[in-house]
A and B are shown apart, each in its own frame.
Chain A
Amino acid sequence: MLALEMFRSVPKTVLGKAAGGRVPMLLTGVAAPLRLVTIPPPKVERPGWVRLRVLLSGICGSDLGMLSGKTSLYFSAVVSLPFVPGHEVVAELLEDCDDLPAGTRVVVDPVLTCAARGVDPCPACERGETNRCSRITVGDISAGLQTGFCHDTGGGWSQQLVAHRSQLHPVPDGYADEQALLIEPVACAVHTALRAGVSAGDRVLVSGAGAVGLLATLALRELTDAGEILVVAKHARQRELALEFGATEVVAPKETLRRIRRATGAFQLEPEFSAPYLLGGVDVAIDAVGSSQSLETCLHATRAGGRVVLSGMPAKADLSAAWFRELEVVGTYASAHGEEAFAKATGLVGHDAVARLAKGVATYPLHRWREALDHAHSAGRLGTVKVAFDPRRNQ
């Protein structure tokens, strides 16, 4: 089976972290700890598990972060190297699995919970908060927070993987594969929107207009009573999409603070040697980038007592505002069974705007992974929202 495998390589990771910013070529070249290999497909050893043939598997921002050494080492304890990345997966069943017949097209909820690990449900899983499962390193399979970070299950960037029945969500027939691919990210966005705790009429800032930001905008618009939604977008295509997805206003990164100041009538302060901030601002800010800059913008543009949602994998930032302005900083990771995020996401993906977005998904065969990663790195500038592998293709 052909697969892309991420392996441990200290020099590559260090090089990527050190020089990747200046020489982006390195990140998809010599500094990428990824290789195309032929490995035996993962085996099904327990009931409830099933083999899947991958149709499409997306490249997520967290994958890129990991491959370029930017991800915090915090996560090194919850993965098992080497592994096949890819947690946004559309696949079809190679054999029957409980109620699902072979050939059923499914999307995978990548979180490897107590159910998949064959252990008694932890308190979180019992409550249906599967994304908060505390048993992600133990049980039948090796450590791994998700499919795509676990050695035993395989991942989406290959021809085959295995998954537990609890992870599978059938795809309605009318959806294209590319549309189905977006169900997992939309499910995360649904979770984000629910975590944001938006009250009716709240003014929301979404910082970032990549896949995460755009889909969060969609989820906020569809599932909450948010008033104004301000989206920070860098590139032209992102601006158009953000408006399609329900943004009230789209602003450029450097205008953000001023625009929010104007819209909310807040006061802007200019501290010495650091970024300006507002007294007053939006009710909820969602960081959908995960850079220090974006996070600080969110912290600095939120009113006292407001909420800052970390939707991207966060970077270091000055948390003074969180203390001084009593902000609620909440994380949002993956999605939970209990809130039926996948069911809601499946509904949202039927949205016209998403269908149009799905048409723009760029697919690559596995062996062109360097091109695919490079495309994903500069997706925003190239007007692409999602880049994916199609292991069926050999050209």
Chain B
Amino acid sequence: MSRPGFVLEVDDRTPPLLVHEGLGFRLEEFPLGTRVIYPPEPIASIADVDGAIRDALLDPVDSEPLPALLFPGMRLTIAFDDISLPLPTMRAPDLRGRIIEQVLTLAAEKGVDDVELIAANALHRRMSAAEIKHIVGERVFRSFWPQGALYNHDAEDRDNLEHLGLTEKGEDVEINKRAATSDLLVYVNINLVAMDGGHKSVGIGLASYKSLKHHHNAKTMVNSRSFMDHKHSEMHSSAWRMGRLIKKHVKVFQIETTVDNNIFPKPYDFLMKREWEWSIKDQASALAMRRGLAIAPQKLRHKMFHDLRSVYGLTGINAGEVEAVHERTIRKVHEQQRVKIEGQSDVVVMGVPYLGPYNVNSTMNPILAACMGLGYYFNSYLGQPVVRQGGVAILYHPLDEGFNTLTHPSYVDFYEEVLAESTDPAVVGEKFEQQFATDPWYVHLYRTSHAYHGVHPFYMWYWIAHALDHLGDVIWVGGDRRAAARMGFRSASTLHDALEMASSTVGGSPSITYLHNPPHLLADVR
């Protein structure tokens, strides 16, 4: 049985609590009275996954059944979420592959010949063949990859983008040409957090830079309160406007799935348990892992964490009309992640783990760590932020992983050149975004190598715009001093030092909230 998420108040019976910090974790003794938010335990999942997929396809929401939309001689395009979802990567077989297989089975029965599969990676890095194979499964890969009918979306391929017009607010809508000119576009999504899915899938996943810049900028991001609440997110409003325009041009059949939060497989399962329920074995595992990590070289630690594959349970699958489907999806996501919290606090503590959407099989560089903490975790709220206006965020991450020049070439330059000049998202965007977005080398690496687009670090920085605007101070516990300073933050060696440093902003005995995250939680703050 799944227990709901709840708010723990640290008392003298509370053991040290687990805090993730990059490729490791620590056991932290929080001051008495600290509120700790625990996400709900994994909710009930569907046993017969293939059956559930079939039901969803044959009995969709606000749409004809999929077989009725298929006809011989049609152009069918299947787009799917890229490797940034879910986190950590799903143990094979991936849900998307299982769904695509069924969609293709139906298409084959109906005699559809012209089928292409596109990874909706927007400005994310191109996935390698192995990564795509993991997502779509061996059968699909073998049938489409060698023919070039299964590929990554290229947001810089001018010949293969289609401008669909302007929204009522003058935003360019430009998406993948193949997708835009199909008779049917099937989108297969994994809705890990409330931010994903809906019109964001096609409208952002298959868009070009020209289209993305309308909502991926500092101004929009500051006014997205929060990203996890698409009705109060400026970014999502823009994506929704674009989505509605897209709908007039191409028939979209959206398939959204939700998974439980069973992210740490054995023997790492203790990382998800509530600490006071740790058995002797769990305690021994934690100790052994901590000590092992302390002597393991960085490479080994990286491998250990990044080789981890999660066994998710499917908690819901809905197909059909985008908005109706998304409505149901969000309900499931909330069921799994939402925790009700009374009131804001002065200080919020967050442990930034080893993995974010943009460093799968790569490194968590300081910018991504900042984005993970101040972008994702900070924004993971409904209503109002967990921390009050002018409060302090204390984050845990060593910020020492450096930059992966294969996947994040523009990040290095952003870090060394742009952040050295200013850390204000608006200023940074104004002055440098164009240069980075149009730099031919970045474009080249994005299109041919496995690099994030040149403009991507700016998006990371816009992500945290709301947090920077809202917070009085940001302190990294255990963070590299220089990296923190470069980003305009401070670093402390322990939580107590950090609280001492925060005392000038929030006083000597602030109220503290620790988001016990991951697994992901969505704070519903009253």
A and B co-occur in one complex: yes
Question: Contacts of B439 on A, CB cut-off 8 Å?
Answer: 262, 265
User: Do A265 and B440 have beta carbons less than 8 Å apart?
Assistant: yes
Which of A172-180, A217-225, A253-261 is near enough to bind chain B?
A: A253-261
Question: At the interface, yes or no: B441 with Cβ under 8 Å from chain A?
Answer: yes
A185-207, CB < 8 A from B: none
Question: At the interface, yes or no: A267 with Cβ under 8 Å from chain B?
Answer: yes
Question: Contacts of A268 on B, CB cut-off 8 Å?
Answer: 441
Question: At the interface, yes or no: A266 with Cβ under 8 Å from chain B?
Answer: yes
A-B contacts at CB below 8 angstroms, number: 23
Complex: how many Å from CA A259 to CA B420?
A: 12
User: Do A261 and B417 have beta carbons less than 8 Å apart?
Assistant: no
User: Do B412 and A267 have beta carbons less than 8 Å apart?
Assistant: no
User: Do B440 and A259 have beta carbons less than 8 Å apart?
Assistant: no
User: Do B413 and A259 have beta carbons less than 8 Å apart?
Assistant: yes
Question: At the interface, yes or no: B48 with Cβ under 8 Å from chain A?
Answer: no
Mark each residue of chain B from 430 to 445: 1 if its CB lies under 8 Å from any CB of chain A, else 0: 0000010001110010
Question: Contacts of B444 on A, CB cut-off 8 Å?
Answer: 267
Question: At the interface, yes or no: B159 with Cβ under 8 Å from chain A?
Answer: no
Question: At the interface, yes or no: B416 with Cβ under 8 Å from chain A?
Answer: yes
User: Do A255 and B441 have beta carbons less than 8 Å apart?
Assistant: no
Complex: how many Å from CA A261 to CA B435?
A: 12
Complex: how many Å from CA A255 to CA B439?
A: 18
Complex: how many Å from CA A255 to CA B440?
A: 19
The listed residue (B413, B435, B440) touching A267 by CB distance below 8 A is B440
Question: Contacts of A262 on B, CB cut-off 8 Å?
Answer: 413, 417, 435, 439
Q: Show 23 residue pairs from A and B whose CB-CB distance is below 8 angstroms, ordered by the A residue.
A: A251-B416, A252-B416, A255-B416, A258-B412, A258-B413, A258-B416, A259-B413, A259-B416, A259-B417, A261-B413, A261-B441, A262-B413, A262-B417, A262-B435, A262-B439, A265-B439, A265-B440, A265-B441, A266-B441, A267-B440, A267-B441, A267-B444, A268-B441
Interface centre among B412, B417, B435 (most CB of A within 10 A): B417
Closest CB in chain B relative to A240 CB, distance in Å: 14
Question: Contacts of A266 on B, CB cut-off 8 Å?
Answer: 441
Residues of B in contact with A (beta carbons under 8 Å apart): 412-413, 416-417, 435, 439-441, 444
Closest CB in chain B relative to A128 CB, distance in Å: 43
Closest CB in chain A relative to B456 CB, distance in Å: 15
**Count of residues in A whose CB is under 8 Å from the partner chain:** 11
A211-263, CB < 8 A from B: 251-252, 255, 258-259, 261-262
Main secondary structure of the interface of B (DSSP, over half): helix
Complex: how many Å from CA A61 to CA B417?
A: 31
Closest CB in chain A relative to B68 CB, distance in Å: 51
Closest CB in chain B relative to A361 CB, distance in Å: 30
Closest CB in chain A relative to B326 CB, distance in Å: 39
Complex: how many Å from CA A262 to CA B435?
A: 9
Known A-B contacts: A259-B417, A265-B440, A265-B441. Give 14 more (CB < 8 A).
A251-B416, A252-B416, A255-B416, A258-B412, A258-B413, A258-B416, A262-B435, A262-B439, A265-B439, A266-B441, A267-B440, A267-B441, A267-B444, A268-B441
Question: Contacts of A258 on B, CB cut-off 8 Å?
Answer: 412-413, 416
Complex: how many Å from CA A393 to CA B62?
A: 96
Closest CB in chain A relative to B403 CB, distance in Å: 10
Complex: how many Å from CA A265 to CA B417?
A: 14
A65-98, CB < 8 A from B: none
Complex: how many Å from CA A311 to CA B489?
A: 40
Question: Contacts of A261 on B, CB cut-off 8 Å?
Answer: 413, 441
Closest CB in chain B relative to A234 CB, distance in Å: 15
Complex: how many Å from CA A259 to CA B415?
A: 11
Complex: how many Å from CA A265 to CA B441?
A: 7
Complex: how many Å from CA A216 to CA B417?
A: 24
Closest CB in chain A relative to B485 CB, distance in Å: 14
Complex: how many Å from CA A260 to CA B340?
A: 51
Question: Contacts of B440 on A, CB cut-off 8 Å?
Answer: 265, 267
Closest A residue, CB atoms, query B440: A265
Question: Contacts of B413 on A, CB cut-off 8 Å?
Answer: 258-259, 261-262
Question: Contacts of B417 on A, CB cut-off 8 Å?
Answer: 259, 262
Complex: how many Å from CA A268 to CA B409?
A: 10
Complex: how many Å from CA A268 to CA B417?
A: 17
Closest CB in chain B relative to A38 CB, distance in Å: 52
Closest CB in chain A relative to B415 CB, distance in Å: 10
Question: Contacts of A265 on B, CB cut-off 8 Å?
Answer: 439-441
Closest CB in chain B relative to A281 CB, distance in Å: 12
Closest A residue, CB atoms, query B454: A262
Closest CB in chain B relative to A231 CB, distance in Å: 15
Question: Contacts of A267 on B, CB cut-off 8 Å?
Answer: 440-441, 444
Complex: how many Å from CA A258 to CA B409?
A: 9
Interface centre among A255, A262, A266 (most CB of B within 10 A): A262
Complex: how many Å from CA A113 to CA B213?
A: 66
Closest CB in chain B relative to A300 CB, distance in Å: 15
Closest A residue, CB atoms, query B441: A267
Complex: how many Å from CA A265 to CA B413?
A: 12
Complex: how many Å from CA A261 to CA B439?
A: 10
Closest A residue, CB atoms, query B444: A267
Complex: how many Å from CA A356 to CA B435?
A: 37
Question: Contacts of B441 on A, CB cut-off 8 Å?
Answer: 261, 265-268
